[in-house]
Structure 1
Amino acid sequence: TFMTMSYILFVNPNIIKAAGIPVQAAFAATAIASAFATLLMGFLANYPIALAPGMGLNAFFTYSVVIGMHLPWQTALGAVFISGLVFFILTVTKVREWIIYGVPEVLRLSIGVGIGLFITIIGLENAGLVVKNSDTLVQLGNMRDPGVLVAVAGLIITAWLLSRRVRGAFLIGIILTSILAMITGVSPAPRSIGAVVSPVNPFAALTPTFWHLSITGVLNAGLITILFAFTFVDMFDNIGTLIGVTRKAGLLDEKGNLPRMGRALLVDSIATMFGSIMGTPTVTSYIESASGVSEGGKTGLTSVVVALLFLVAIVFAPLVGLIPAQATAPVLILVGLLMMSEVVKIKFDDFTEAFPAFLTIVMMPFTYSIAQGLAFGFMAYTVVKLISGRHRENNAVTYTLTILFILHFVLG
C-alpha cells in the first residue's frame, strides 16, 4: 500500500507550494498527517485503509480557492478545518445517511470523473503541454522545450510502468523523470547526499504552517460553496473507497454493508481537521489501499505499518525540493485517467441522467472549480427531472441543494 501511494509525498507539496505553502513544511505536513490518519484508521476502525491528502481536493485548494479567489492559504486551510468539523458532525448524526442516500448515483459518478479532468488539465499545464492563449484560451505548448520533452518522457515511462502493473509505478516514474530532468539540465542535481536524505526535525519543518489556519478568515469571506465542495467530495470519496477496498478484502456483511463505517468516517473527519492544523488540504482514504489488501492485508495492522513508513519517509524531506513539476505532472495526468473510469457507468442513453452528468464533468475543469461543477450538476439534475415529468426522482436533498446553489449565484 505504501509503495503505491507514496507518490503523494512529492505530488502534494508540489501542488500546494503554488498556494504559497513552503515545500519543506508541505512535505512534513503530508507525511505526518498521513501517518496520524492511517494509524488512527488502524486502531479505531481496524481496517487496512491508508489515508493521505486527497488528489483533486489539493488542486482545488490551490488553484480554485487560493489562486482563483485570491485568498491566503491560511484562510483556505481554515475552510478545510471547518469542512472536517462539518463532516464530523454529519457522521455522528443521521444527516450523513440522509445525504448519502439522497444524492443521485449519476452525480456521485460524475463528481469523480469531473475531478479527474480537473487534475488532468492541471497536469497538462504543469508539463507545459497546454499553455494559455489570449485568443483561444489554451493551445499546445512548445514541443521543442526541454522541460516539455522531459514531462512527455515521464508520461511515457509512468504509463509503461502502469501497463506492466509495476508496484509503486507513480513513485518510480517520479524518480526516473526527476533523474532525467537533472541529466538534461531541466532541474538542478543534488550536490551531496544531504540534499537527498537527512535527519529532519518534523516540528521545526512544520513551523511555517503549524496552526496557521484562519477560521475567522473563512467566516469573513463567506466560503459556503467552498466548504460544501470540500465536505461533499471528501464524504463520497471516502465512502466509495471504503466500500471498494473492504469489498475486495471480503469485509462486508451479508447485506453488503460495511461494519464500523461510522468509525471509519470519523477517522476521516478527524484526519481532515488534523491535516489542516499541520498545513495540508483535505486528508482522505486512498483507493491504493486495495493493493495492500490484494497482498493479504485484512486488518488495521496493515494501516499501522503504512503509518510507520510515512513517518520514516520524513528523512527524505530534502528530496522534495529536487522534484521538478515535470516529474509530478505525468502522475496528475494519469491519476486523472484512472478517475475517468467511472464514466462508463453513467447512463448516457437517458438524457435526464446524461445532461447533469455532462455539466458536472465539464464545468469542473472549464471553471477550474470542483464547487462550480457540483452546483451546475445538482441544478441541472433537479430542473431536468422536473421539466421531463420525472419529478419523483428528485428528493429533499436535490431540492435543498439546488435552492442553496441558486441562492448562492443570485446573492453572490
Structure 2
Amino acid sequence: MADAASDTVSTDKGDKGDRGGRGGRGDRGDSGSTNGIDRFFRISERGSTVGREVRGGLVTFFAMAYIIALNPLIIGTVKDASGQFLGGGTSPNIAMVAAATALVAGVVTILMGLVANYPLALATGLGLNAFLAFGVASSMTWADAMGLIVLEGLVILVLVLTGFRKAVFHAVPRELKTAISVGIGLFIALIGFVDAGLVRRTAAPPVPVQFGIDGSLGGWPVLVFVVGLLAITIMVVRKVRGAILYGILGATVLAIVIEAIAKVGAAGPGYATNPRGWGLNVPRLPDHWIQVPDFGLLGKFSLLGSFERIGIVAAVLLIFTLMVADFFDTMGTMTAIGSEAGLLDKDGVPPNSQRILVVDSVAAAAGGAASVSSATSYIESAAGVGEGARTGLASVVTGVCFLLATAFAPIVEIIPYEAATPALVVVGFLMMTQVTEISWDKYDIAIPAFLTIVLMPFTYSISVGIGAGFVSYVVLRAARGKAREIHPLLWVVALLFVVYFAIDPIKQVLGVS
C-alpha cells in the first residue's frame, strides 16, 4: 500500500519518489484504474488518483484566481493613445475585462489538460500585461496593442512548430534547468510574502524592503496569513491529504469571521491607504452569487494597426520584447512544475513538451484576440502539484473553475491574498530543495546557476533570471576554453538575451521612441 505521503506534499527528500508518482501505487487494481478518465489522463500510471487531481486542480485555481480581479485593475484602468479605456468608452469597464480574463484562462487551461496532459494552468501573464498597459497602449489604441500580442503568439507558435523552441529547451544543461526551478521556487515564495504584506516596500532608502509595517507585524490580515501558513506546514509535516486546499479554505473562513467582527477593510494599492487592510479582496459574503458575464471584448484587436501608427521598426522591436519574455517564462515554468511532480526524464524534459509549448503559444495569441493580454503558463500551478496533481485532469478542473468564475465572480472575490498566499510559500520551499542537485564546486556552472536563482526574485522576473544564467554560462564556458562544448543554440539564445537586455539603447541608436 502506498505511503500517505504520496497523497500530499512531503518535506522529506526520501519522499520525492512518492511526490513524483513514478513508483506506482498499491491500488492499481481498483476500478478507477480501468475507467476512461484514468486511461485518457494516465492517472494511475503517474501514481495519482482522481481525487488528488481534483484537489490539485482546485488548489491551483485558488492560488491564481487573483488574476481575475487583478488583470482588470492593470489593463482596464489605463487609457490608450486615443484617450479610451479597454473596450472603448471614457470610463473603465472592469467587469467586462474580468469576464474575458476568466474565459481565456478557462479555455486555454482545459486545452492544456486535454492536449498536453500536464498539470499546468494558464492565464493572463503578470508583467506582460503591465508592460502592455504602460509601455505599449500609450502610443497606440488598445486594439492595436492587442494585435501585437496576437502576432507575438503566432511567431512563437511558428518557432514551436519548426522545432526551434523545443531544440532550445533540449540545449539547456540539466543543472541550469534545476537552477531555473529553484529560482522560481524563491520567486513564488517572495510573491507570497509580498502579496500577504509580510514583506513590504520601505520609504527609507537604501533599504528596499522591510518586514511587515515598520519592521513588525501589524493587522488582522497578516495574522490570517501566519495562521494559514502554520496550518499548512503542520498538515504537510503530518502528511495530511489535502493540506494546501484545507489551509486556503480554512484561512478564508477565518478571514471572513475577522472582517465581520473587526471591519478591517481593503488595503488599497500597495497597502498605501490602509496598511493593515486586506490585500486584493475584502473577505465578506457577497450580496449576490451569480452575475451575467459580458464577453464584448472578444475579437476587439487590430492585427496590423500598430505598424501603421508607430512604424515597422518600432512594432517589430515591441513584438521581440514581448516574445522573449513569453518564450522563456514558459520553458522555465514547465520545467519547474515537472521537476516538482517528478515527471521529467533523465535530460530534464517533461512529457509531451512539444504539445505543452504549442498550447502555450496558442494561449498567447488567444489572450490578444480576447483583448486581455498574453495568456501564459502560471507558476502557481506548483501549488496544485504540491497537493498531488500529476496529470492534465487537474488542469481541466482548474479550467472549469475559471469558466464558472465568469458567472460566479462574486465567490472568487471572497478570497483575500492573505488566505491564498501561504500555499505559494510552502511550494516555494519544496522547489528550493532541488538546490542540492547543482554542482556548486564547479564555478562555470555554479555562478550561472546562482545568477539564475537570485535574479528571479530580486528582479521579479523569470525571464531576467533565465537570461542572466544563459549569458553568464556561455561567457564563462568560453573563458575556460570550452566554447566548443556549448550547444550552438545556446550561443543564439545568449545573443538574443543580450539584445533583450539592451533593448532601450538599441531603440535609441535606431531612433525609435
Q: TM-score, normalised by structure 2?
A: 0.64
Judge conservation of contact 2:137–2:145 (CA < 8 Å) in 1. yes
1:54-107 deviation digits (Å, cap 9, x = unpaired): 6xx8344367x368x655596886665444323311221132343122222233
Q: In 1, Cα distance between the equivalents of 2:479 and 2:121?
A: 42
Question: Which has the larger displacement, 159-168 or 384-393?
Answer: 159-168
Q: In 2, Cα distance between the equivalents of 1:256 and 1:334?
A: 23
Judge conservation of contact 2:181–2:332 (CA < 8 Å) in 1. no
Q: Is the alpha carbon distance of 1:353 and 1:212 closer, same or farther for their aligned partners in structure 2, counting shifts above 3 Å?
A: farther
Relative contact order (alpha carbons < 8 A, sep ≥ 6): 1 or 2 greater?
Answer: 1
Judge conservation of contact 2:177–2:335 (CA < 8 Å) in 1. no
Alpha-carbon offset, residue 351 of structure 1: 0.6
Aligned mate of 2:162, from 67, 77, 93: 93
Partner of 1:53: 122
Alpha-carbon offset, residue 354 of structure 1: 0.6
The one-letter code sitting in structure 2 at the alignment partner of 1:95 is: F
> Where do residues 7-406 of structure 1 align in structure 2 (5 Å cutoff)?
7-8=62-63, 10-13=65-68, 15-16=70-71, 19-21=74-76, 28-29=99-100, 31-41=102-112, 45=115, 48-53=117-122, 58-61=125-128, 65=131, 81-133=150-202, 134-135=204-205, 136-142=207-213, 143-166=217-240, 168-184=242-258, 185-187=263-265, 188=282, 190=284, 194=288, 197-198=289-290, 200-202=291-293, 204=294, 206-207=295-296, 210-211=298-299, 216=306, 219=315, 222=318, 224-238=320-334, 241=337, 247=343, 262-278=354-370, 279=372, 281-284=374-377, 286=381, 288=384, 307-308=399-400, 310-406=402-498
Judge conservation of contact 1:4–1:291 (CA < 8 Å) in 2. yes
Q: In 1, Cα distance between the equivalents of 2:247 and 2:219?
A: 20
Q: In 1, Cα distance between the equivalents of 2:350 and 2:212?
A: 47
Alpha-carbon offset, residue 109 of structure 1: 2.3
SS of the residue 1:49 aligns to: coil
Judge conservation of contact 2:193–2:425 (CA < 8 Å) in 1. yes
Alpha-carbon offset, residue 319 of structure 1: 1.8
Q: In 2, Cα distance between the equivalents of 1:229 and 1:145?
A: 36
Q: Is the alpha carbon distance of 1:157 and 1:104 closer, same or farther for their aligned partners in structure 2, counting shifts above 3 Å?
A: same
Q: Is the alpha carbon distance of 1:24 and 1:345 closer, same or farther for their aligned partners in structure 2, counting shifts above 3 Å?
A: farther
Q: Is the alpha carbon distance of 1:327 and 1:13 closer, same or farther for their aligned partners in structure 2, counting shifts above 3 Å?
A: farther
SS of the residue 2:408 aligns to: helix
Partner of 2:506: 411
Q: In 2, Cα distance between the equivalents of 1:376 and 1:113?
A: 15
The one-letter code sitting in structure 1 at the alignment partner of 2:66 is: V
Unpaired runs of 5+ in structure 2? 1-52, 77-92, 266-281, 508-513
The one-letter code sitting in structure 2 at the alignment partner of 1:105 is: R
The one-letter code sitting in structure 1 at the alignment partner of 2:103 is: I
The one-letter code sitting in structure 2 at the alignment partner of 1:174 is: I
Q: Is the alpha carbon distance of 1:179 and 1:246 closer, same or farther for their aligned partners in structure 2, counting shifts above 3 Å?
A: closer
Judge conservation of contact 2:113–2:120 (CA < 8 Å) in 1. no
Size of the aligned set, in residue pairs, is 392
Q: Is the alpha carbon distance of 1:232 and 1:144 closer, same or farther for their aligned partners in structure 2, counting shifts above 3 Å?
A: closer
SS of the residue 1:403 aligns to: helix
1:98-138 deviation digits (Å, cap 9, x = unpaired): 31222222332222322332232232222221122222111
Judge conservation of contact 2:151–2:319 (CA < 8 Å) in 1. no
Partner of 2:31: none
Coordinate RMSD, CA, aligned: 4.0
Q: Is the alpha carbon distance of 1:282 and 1:329 closer, same or farther for their aligned partners in structure 2, counting shifts above 3 Å?
A: same
The one-letter code sitting in structure 1 at the alignment partner of 2:325 is: A
Question: Which has the larger displacement, 308-317 or 337-346?
Answer: 308-317
Q: Is the alpha carbon distance of 1:281 and 1:259 closer, same or farther for their aligned partners in structure 2, counting shifts above 3 Å?
A: closer
Alpha-carbon offset, residue 30 of structure 1: 5.2
Q: In 1, Cα distance between the equivalents of 2:496 and 2:353?
A: 28
Question: Which has the larger displacement, 184-193 or 171-180?
Answer: 184-193
Judge conservation of contact 1:234–1:282 (CA < 8 Å) in 2. no
Question: Which has the larger displacement, 257-266 or 366-375?
Answer: 257-266
Q: In 2, Cα distance between the equivalents of 1:171 and 1:19?
A: 28
Bigger-Rg structure (1/2): 2
The one-letter code sitting in structure 2 at the alignment partner of 1:119 is: I
Q: In 2, Cα distance between the equivalents of 1:76 and 1:138?
A: 33
Judge conservation of contact 1:4–1:168 (CA < 8 Å) in 2. no
Judge conservation of contact 1:10–1:328 (CA < 8 Å) in 2. no
Judge conservation of contact 2:405–2:412 (CA < 8 Å) in 1. no
Q: In 1, Cα distance between the equivalents of 2:69 and 2:424?
A: 11
Alpha-carbon offset, residue 401 of structure 1: 2.3
Q: Is the alpha carbon distance of 1:76 and 1:117 closer, same or farther for their aligned partners in structure 2, counting shifts above 3 Å?
A: farther
Q: Which has the higher helix share?
A: 1
Judge conservation of contact 1:154–1:330 (CA < 8 Å) in 2. yes
Q: In 1, Cα distance between the equivalents of 2:183 and 2:301?
A: 28
Q: In 2, Cα distance between the equivalents of 1:395 and 1:256?
A: 16
Q: In 2, Cα distance between the equivalents of 1:257 and 1:131?
A: 36
Q: Percent identity?
A: 31
The one-letter code sitting in structure 1 at the alignment partner of 2:264 is: V
